[in-house]
Amino acid sequence: MNKERKLIIAGNWKMNKTVAEAVALVHALKLEVANVREVDIVVCPPFTALADVSKAVQDSNIRLGAQNMSEHNYGAYTGEICAGMLKEFYTRYVILGHSERRQYQKEPDALIAKKAAAAHASAIKPIVCVGETLAERESNQMEKVLEAQVRGSLAGLTTEQMVETVIAYEPVWAIGTGKTATTQQAQDAHAFIRKQVAKMFDETVARRVRIQYGGSVKAANARELMSQPDVDGALVGGAALEVRSFADIIKNSI
């Protein structure tokens, strides 16, 4: 395990949990992971639960994240949430460019780059997602796709901002399918992404950037994945919706 970079494990709750359910989950999670200091723990509830979850994680080792935000500041953007609104709830992280938003909302890399810049402008750390589909992997397009997404989604960031950015590699074919990339497949993709960051910035920045794996992470495979030299954590979907499974992933990562 790379001791140079602190592990970061974030739970992406997606469109799940009422406010009451969200608060109950966090209160239970706090008890389970109270003594964990080796991992940055993040929960990303729906917007409706941010205020209450923010209060629930106060004075704990759990940080609050959001699942998306606008590239704009306040203004006439119906249905959008801006960084200033997230800051009101002490939101520390925001997931950007998740594969579901790339697929369903057709979000392009250039938009994700604008959102990342807007997040940094408000001192919110973006978790920028990249990853290939099954068709792209099977047609040997993985590296081409990852290079384009990394370069496009991180374009315009300063060196200081890049160091404070988290990249999440999510092989789209392994999300919610029960399929998991082999440990070697995950490591190879992470190493390739880090190489692209080095080309965009430099080796020092690339060594400091944390790259999470996000594809059907479970307690059973967490330790093996996190032991890879370029895997610095996990972006957890379904397993983050249940206290025991999420806590076990965190504990098994150390």
Question: How confident is the model over 12-20, as a mean pLDDT?
Answer: 98
Q: What is the mean pLDDT of the chain?
A: 96
Lowest mean pLDDT among 18-27, 67-76, 134-143, 149-158: 134-143
Identify whether 71 is a catalytic site residue: no
Q: Is the pLDDT of residue 224 over 90?
A: yes
Contacts of 233 (CB under 8 A, 6+ apart): 7, 8, 9, 10, 39, 40, 166, 210, 211, 212, 213, 226, 253
Backbone angles phi, psi at 95, to 5 degrees: -80, 130
What integer is the mean pLDDT of 223-229? 95
| pLDDT 10s digits, 118-170 | 999 999 999 999 999 988 988 999 999 999 999 999 999 999 999 999 999 99
0.95 exceeded by pTM: yes
Band of the pLDDT at 2, cuts 50, 70, 90? very low
Q: Is 98 an active-site residue?
A: yes
Residue 245, pLDDT > 70, answer: yes
Q: How confident is the model at residue 17 (pLDDT cuts 50, 70, 90)?
A: very high
Q: Which amino acid, residue 193?
A: I
| 8 A C-beta contact, residue 62 and residue 30 | yes
Decide if pLDDT at 3 tops 70.
Answer: no
| Active-site residue, from 98, 100, 107, 190 | 98
Residue 14: per-residue pLDDT: 97
**Pairing, β 93-96 against β 39-44:** unpaired
pLDDT for 78-130, tens place per residue?
999 999 999 999 999 999 999 999 999 999 999 999 999 999 999 999 999 99
Mean per-residue pLDDT, 38-59: 98
Catalytic residue among 100, 120, 170, 190: 170
